Amino acid sequence: MCRLIVDAGQLCDQTSKGVFMNFLLVVPLLAVALLGITACQEKPEPQTTPAQTSQAQPPGTDKEVSARAMSGTSALKAEGFTPQIAVGFQLKPSELEVSTSLPFRQQVELHAAVLDKLRQGLEDAQARKKLAAEKKSEPGMFDQYLAAEEDERNVLKYLAPYAIAQGKAQARKDDGFKLTKVGGEGEWKGEACNAQGQCSEVDPMVALLMMVIDAVLGEFQKDNPFGPNNELTKAFVALVQFIDRPLGGPNSDLVKIREALLFHDKNGEIAKMIRDPIKRPIEIVQDIRDKIIPKDDNGEIAKAIRDPIKCTIGHLWGGC
């Protein structure tokens, strides 16, 4: 209500030059504006720039996190940072879970959407962290570095199962298995078979990663996996670039995460779990967290897997 009244006051200011020419029309508006000024003196509105108010926040946006993001982005922009994510972009733990009770195809599609959001969050956090490190002597950049680091660590926690899923997908492909019932319309299933006719079921998360690396038979088209004019296809194409960057090379973020986990694989336990056709990626990560990573390991991946999610100073995580 206070904002509406201030708007009226601003309109009055703009028309003040015509007060004497059109006195009878302006007096009522002036009275409203004066009331607004009195009301807003008791509870002043925070000043915002046109860039901050020009785009509406998505429904359900965590306002506290959004305010930190706006303030931090303004500080980073002053040092030359160009955000690649939309205003109000947030990651929420409740929105990153995919129910196993959903149909197989829907699970694959939701995993594609979640993984793409995590990709965007990771790339943004890494870009902010890099710039803050380069500008560390500038005021406020240390705080921005810590915020970006918190965001990055939270994303790594949620990316870990996808890193394991990629390893499982590659292991299945290396053993000659390909998905037989995904792509196009109709019901999808996680059946994967090899040339000898041996078949097994794969997790929807693993199926998505097998689709990315072309471990698919039949009419599946990598450039149009979810049908024509599907928004998920755009996300899928971005995932291909994110996961195989370059194709099969060491620069993939998921490869880096998995290799950091395999560093703890003293007895080959993780490798065995990755090659297990039944064990789900989320279960593998839980076993790694609970049984394999030492409590005194303070590496980034170890802390991301072991420590609870934090949403205290970052820009991306809401609803924690």
Report whether 310 contacts 154 (CB < 8 A): yes
Residue with tokens 């076993």: 287
**Can you give the pLDDT at residue 57?**
62
Q: In the predicted model, is pLDDT for residue 280 greater than 90?
A: yes
Query: DSSP E strands: which ranges in the chain?
Result: 178-179, 191-193, 199-201
**Can you give the pLDDT at residue 49?**
36
Taking the C-alpha atoms of residue 244 and residue 215, their distance in angstroms, rounded to an integer, is: 14
What is the distance, to the nearest Å, from the Cα of residue 279 to the centroid of all Cα atoms in its chain? 25
**Can you give the pLDDT at residue 220?**
58
Question: Going by C-beta distance under 8 Å and a sequence separation of 6 or more, which residues neighbour residue 19?
Answer: 26, 30
Taking the C-alpha atoms of residue 198 and residue 192, their distance in angstroms, rounded to an integer, is: 8
Considering the chain, what percentage of its residues have pLDDT values greater than 70? 74
For 249, other C-beta atoms within 10 Å of its C-beta total: 9
Residue 151 or residue 1, greater confidence: 151
Residue with tokens 């020009």: 54
Residue 44 or residue 108, greater confidence: 108
**Can you give the pLDDT at residue 192?**
93
21 SS3 class: coil
Residue 133 or residue 52, greater confidence: 133
Candidates 262, 310, 249; CA nearest to 288 is 262
**Can you give the pLDDT at residue 59?**
65
**What is the DSSP code (8-state) at residue 167?**
H
Q: How far is CA 80 from CA 73, 86, 246, 253, in A?
A: 10, 17, 27, 25
Extents of the domains making up the chain: 2-45, 58-306
192 SS3 class: strand
**Can you give the pLDDT at residue 221?**
57
**Can you give the pLDDT at residue 102?**
96
With cut-offs at 50, 70 and 90, classify the pLDDT of residue 293: confident
**Can you give the pLDDT at residue 212?**
84
Give me the mean pLDDT over the 65-79 stretch. Answer: 95
Report whether 45 contacts 6 (CB < 8 A): yes
Candidates 132, 131, 123; CA nearest to 245 is 123
Q: What's the one-letter identity of residue 261?
A: L
Report whether 34 contacts 76 (CB < 8 A): no
**Can you give the pLDDT at residue 245?**
53
**Can you give the pLDDT at residue 199?**
93
Give the pLDDT confidence of 194-245 residue by residue, as tens digits: 999 999 999 999 999 988 887 887 655 556 666 665 667 777 777 777 775 5
With cut-offs at 50, 70 and 90, classify the pLDDT of residue 292: confident
Q: What's the one-letter identity of residue 264?
A: H
Give me the mean pLDDT over the 58-69 stretch. Answer: 86
**Can you give the pLDDT at residue 32?**
36
Give the pLDDT confidence of 123-139 residue by residue, as tens digits: 999 999 999 999 999 99
**What is the DSSP code (8-state) at residue 216?**
B
Taking the C-alpha atoms of residue 307 and residue 130, their distance in angstroms, rounded to an integer, is: 23
List the Cα angle 182/111/158 in 5-degree steps: 145
What is the average pLDDT value for the chain, to the nearest integer?
A: 78
In order, the DSSP letters of 63-118 are HHHHHHHHHHHHHHHTTT----S-TT--B-GGGS---TTS-HHHHHHHHHHHHHHH
258 SS3 class: helix
Taking the C-alpha atoms of residue 246 and residue 252, their distance in angstroms, rounded to an integer, is: 7
Taking the C-alpha atoms of residue 256 and residue 153, their distance in angstroms, rounded to an integer, is: 14
**Can you give the pLDDT at residue 179?**
92
**Can you give the pLDDT at residue 191?**
93
**Can you give the pLDDT at residue 153?**
93
